[in-house]
Amino acid sequence: MKLEMYCNECQHEWREDYENANCYECPNCHSTSVYRSRYITCQCGATVYCDGFTNECDGCGTLYNAFGQMLAPPSQWDDEDRYECFGPQDYDEEF
């Protein structure tokens, strides 16, 4: 898993390994106002951002969790797992 960093001050963009990125300071202007998003490279070569609970690859549709771990398609999940992830399908949204 890697991080994509974006400086709010000077719009500098760079990437770091997730494990090494202890310091979120812009190497260009040393601002700490840095936006970061986690991403992984899918087996198909596409970049998948892991900002949500489940994240789908635009290239091949593979699902990843927030930690960049590959998930089986929801159709193969246990009912309980699907429930935890997506909640009750017939839930009344007014409550």
Q: Where along the sequence are the contacts to Zn ion (CB under 5 A)?
A: 7, 9-10, 12, 26, 28-29, 31, 42, 44, 46, 57, 59-60, 62
Q: How far is the CB of 71 from Zn ion (least distance, A)?
A: 12
Q: How far is the CB of 83 from Zn ion (least distance, A)?
A: 26
Q: At 10, list the tokens.
A: 């000077």
Residue type, position 87, single letter: G
CA–CA dist 26, 8 (Å, integer)? 9
Q: How far is the CB of 17 from Zn ion (least distance, A)?
A: 19
- Residue 32 or residue 83: which is nearer to Zn ion going by CB? 32
By three-state DSSP, how is residue 17 classified?
A: strand
Residue type, position 51, single letter: D
